[in-house]
Amino acid sequence: MTIRTVATTPFAGQKPGTSGLRKKVKVFAQPHYLENFVQAIFDSIGAVAGKTLVVGGDGRYYNRTAIQTILKMAAASGFAAVMVGQGGILSTPAASCVIRKYRTFGGIILSASHNPGGPDEDFGIKYNIPAGGPAPEAITEAIFARSQEIGEYRILDAADVDLDTLGTQRLGAMTVEVFDPVADYAALMESLFDFAAIRALFAGGFRMTFDAMHAVTGPYAAAILEGRLGAPRGTVMNGVPREDFGAGHPDPNLVHAAELVAIMFGADAPDFGAASDGDGDRNMILGRNFYVTPSDSLAVLAANATVCPGYKAGLKGIARSMPTSAAADRVAAALGIEAYETPTGWKFFGTLLDAGLATLCGEESFGTGSDHVREKDGLWAVLMWLNVLAARRDSVAAIVTAHWRKFGRNVYSRHDYEGVDSEAANGLMAHLRGLSLTGRRLGAYEVVVNDDFAYTDPVDGSVSTRQGIRVVFGDGSRIVYRLSGTGTEGATLRVYIERYEPDAAKHHLDPQEALADLIAIARDVAEIERRTGRTEPTVIT
């Protein structure tokens, strides 16, 4: 087997976004495209000779092809070993778990998360560092810079590796270990949660539906919920991972998980419903006839964390992304612990978790997690909810409404305008950046802060600017605008709207009604209709 050195030239636009490089499969499938980016990773992360790498993905179309290329390139670059999930499958949180457990030199995760899969859809790749989390900006910038000057890559001329048989194989001088992608992760979950109490809950007739959306969490959910926890067979729906996610959009929200939503809001609904996304790091939580916003979910889990064995000692701090509602901050204040506000992107939580400043983290974008790994973790959030439900023996709706009575409700909604013309979206953001609203009245509200969010990491001092336009009002209400960093077509404008409601008599109101005046102000200030031609958002969460 010989190592081939292949001459290449840079591709424009290999700049990682909010979470790695995400493009259409057709872009990745161009000759040298994937290879350039992988070589740029290997050239940017320090000496790789003799090291071990973890590789796996969410099983989407092109996953297996990309893994074969990465294995041959890892062998050519001198890695001693690569650990690959069987069938090329590895959920994002399970990858983080394995990287940490086996102290590897990080890993490469292949996923475009919640974006659709298939030959005409999306693919993605990112590098996670040895701590298990997504590479911080300094590294993604270095990878990008390297990709822009690359002149050659190295690859081993060899037959494809068998990704389906557990065990060890040789690839040139390198070892390839195909391992069970579920076992280590399931063991970690069992160490954090009271499986006996959850088993007793199911044995008592508690009913749940978990929608794996034909994505990576199917095998994990089946093994843990139906296997170890004794939930009846059929609890997991859409449990077989498919390369095109069954032609669905594996994004666990009210729009894309419509099948689950119909079950949970239908006659004879189960007690608990949940869904996870393409790569298993997002979650949506539903009760019978009840939707829990991700921001509320973080707050409720934080307030109840000590019923779970893994969090019995209490939380060190709670971190949330800036656009996430401030519900968790109220819990942190009540617990007397620190609340951190970071830019959007799970990578920003890494330093806080590593330094032991925060235990729980969450984002409005259906992400919740803790210091057990360095990624958000869909199934972990579901299990934590199950542990809370098993301990409190109350319904989801009763637990959340009681939480609002105690802390007040941060009424919250996100409006997405997807596939907007990029120039129009950039123009809208430039318009917002040019405004100076502080001190002005908008409707019934007075603007007290109007800025473009900037963040200085309290641990390593790194600074991230231009992280979203904030319009904060005197009563704490907020409107936030940002452009998504994960889309692959045009631009997605996200508008986040929040108002604090202390009055329990108004807690039952639909957020769209309760926020109607702020929503109108948000559209008006940004001139959304005039600039984008859109009269309505495409997705409301």
Binding-site ranges for ligand G16 (CB under 6 A): 18-19, 113-114, 281-282, 344-346, 363, 365, 367, 484-486, 494
Cβ-based nearer residue to ligand G16, 197 or 483: 483
Cβ-based nearer residue to ligand G16, 317 or 367: 367
Identify the CA nearest to 393 among candidates 189, 227, 205: 205
19, 113, 321, 477: the active-site residue: 113
- Whole-angstrom CA distances from 352 to 96, 362, 374, 429, 455 are 16, 13, 10, 30, 13
Assigned token pair, 328: 């968790």
Smallest gap from Cβ 227 to ligand G16, in A, equals 26
CA 106 from chain centre, in angstroms, equals 18
Cβ-based nearer residue to ligand G16, 245 or 346: 346
Q: Parallel, antiparallel, or unpaired: how do β-strands 21-24 and 174-179 relate?
A: unpaired
The answer to whether the beta carbons of residues 288 and 395 sit under 8 Å apart is: yes
- Whole-angstrom CA distances from 537 to 46, 116, 153, 479 are 44, 19, 44, 15
Cβ-based nearer residue to ligand G16, 44 or 492: 492
Smallest gap from Cβ 362 to ligand G16, in A, equals 10
Smallest gap from Cβ 443 to ligand G16, in A, equals 26
Smallest gap from Cβ 503 to ligand G16, in A, equals 30
DSSP E strands: which ranges in 201-289? 208-211, 236-237, 272-276, 283-287
- Give me the DSSP letters along 364-408: TTTEEEETTSSS--HHHHHHHHHHHHHHH---HHHHHHHHHHHH-
Q: Which helix H or strand E contains 427, and what residues bound it?
A: helix 422-434
CA 509 from chain centre, in angstroms, equals 28
Please indicate whether residue 325 is annotated as part of the active site.
Answer: no
Smallest gap from Cβ 128 to ligand G16, in A, equals 11
Q: In the β-sheet with 491-501, what is the strand arrangement from edge to edge?
A: 441-442, 445-452, 469-473, 478-483, 491-501, 409-420, 539-540
Assigned token pair, 425: 């979206």
Smallest gap from Cβ 507 to ligand G16, in A, equals 26
The answer to whether the beta carbons of residues 265 and 335 sit under 8 Å apart is: no
Active site residues: 113
